[in-house]
Amino acid sequence: MTAVSLAQRPDLIRIASWIQPKSDVLDLGCADGKLLAYLQQTKQVHGTGIERDPEAVVASVRRGVAVVQQNLEEGLALFENQHFETVVLSKTLQSMLNTEHILREMARVARYGIVSFPNFGHWSHGLSILAGRMPVSKEMPYEWYNTPNIHLCTLRDFEDLAKALGLRITDRVVFNGKNEVNWLPSLRGTLAVYRFESPFAHS
């Protein structure tokens, strides 16, 4: 099997670093299965992906990834409570119709959840709005009329929602391109990655 590299995606490298070897991992919206294939090769995880795009499902299977073709909006009823160690939702949260529902489902099926999303609080977005236009950026490359992003948020917005849902944030990293941002991340970061613990983990 061809070795998988995450060199072009530092956010996925960080996500991978938070996942325990030989654990059970669920990747929601797994696309071509690259993250799970990498984890299977480097950490011997037991991985399952969910993806609705037929071509992406085929690409995942070719990488040796077990994948279920399903729309995430339908929930995760296929899986029992706390079945996984970690569930990942990468760059998909902002396109979900029911954000609270998918976060609750993530907390139900796994001890840890990892989410990443574009940071709408980046300073350039404010300038775009002041100039009378919706922001367009590398992390949000769509025009207002064709964007799949329907629930954009800032870092504080997500942290407030996580608290309201009882999700305990354990880790956070913010990127601008390939670089981590530690100074003024709410204004300077373009992509946020969070890891949280489910409130059901110890019940």
Q: How much is the average pLDDT of 104-130?
A: 87
From the number of C-beta atoms within 10 Å of its C-beta (0-12, 13-18, 19+), residue 3 rates as: exposed
Q: What percent of the chain has pLDDT over 90?
A: 68
- The least confident of 46-50, 83-87, 130-134 is 130-134
- Residue listed under structure tokens 């654990």: 23
Q: How much is the average pLDDT of 62-79?
A: 90
Q: Which residues pair with 177 in a beta bridge?
A: none
- pLDDT confidence of residue 121: 79
Q: Which residues, 6 or more positions from 124, have their beta carbon under 8 angstroms from its beta carbon?
A: 135, 137
Query: Tell me, what DSSP letter sits at residue 79?
Result: S
Higher pLDDT, 123 or 81: 81
Q: What is the pLDDT of residues 161-201, one digit of tens each?
A: 999 999 999 999 999 989 999 999 999 999 999 999 999 98
Q: What is the pLDDT of residues 129-150, one digit of tens each?
A: 667 776 677 776 767 666 666 7
